Amino acid sequence: MRKVFYILPVLGLLKAGAAKAICPLCTVTVVAATGLSRWLGIDDVISGLWIGGVTISMIVWTLDYFGKKNWHFKYDIPVVWLGYYVLIYASLLLGDLVFHPGNILWGIDKLILGVVIGSVFFITAVYGYEYLKKKNQGKAHFPYEKVAMPVGTLVVLSAIFYFITK
């Protein structure tokens, strides 16, 4: 059953349309890494980092889609953000993946901590890329910089938390 839980997001991405605000390659990479890390038994804080990255990707894609369809409603941005995080939290809770004794780092459940840290750093990397691109006359500094910055950030964080949790 858990394998289906990890395969479904990947199948959904295969059906995705044209590129949105965050490239599909980033999102596929993040989803694949999340599923692989859980399957391999990697620490929950590291899995959470990647879940946070996927969540940010989906939020940005959803808001971009709403904008292209000219669908706007009062508080649409906070509602989308809150909606995704409520769904993530509910999924983790219903899947019995959080709040296990001994699965705590710094007084917080490792998976929840990873989601928060991964989300913050992923969105920071996305905006960091946009800032650097703007400073470079609207051009990337190197090919696939748009992919390398957010995914690279999660890779570095994963390495840091690997050593923290070992």
For residue 120, pLDDT beyond 90: yes
Please write the tens of the pLDDT for every residue from 15-28. 444 444 455 555 55
Domain extent listing, the chain = 2-165
E strand residue ranges, 5-153? 104-105, 108-109
Top-confidence residue, 76 or 10 = 76
The model carries a pTM of 0.72
Radius of gyration of the chain (CA): 16
Q: Is-contact 150 122, C-beta < 8 A?
A: yes
> 3-state secondary structure string, 15-54?
CCCCCCCCCHHHHHHHHHHHHHHHHHCCCHHHHHHHHHHH
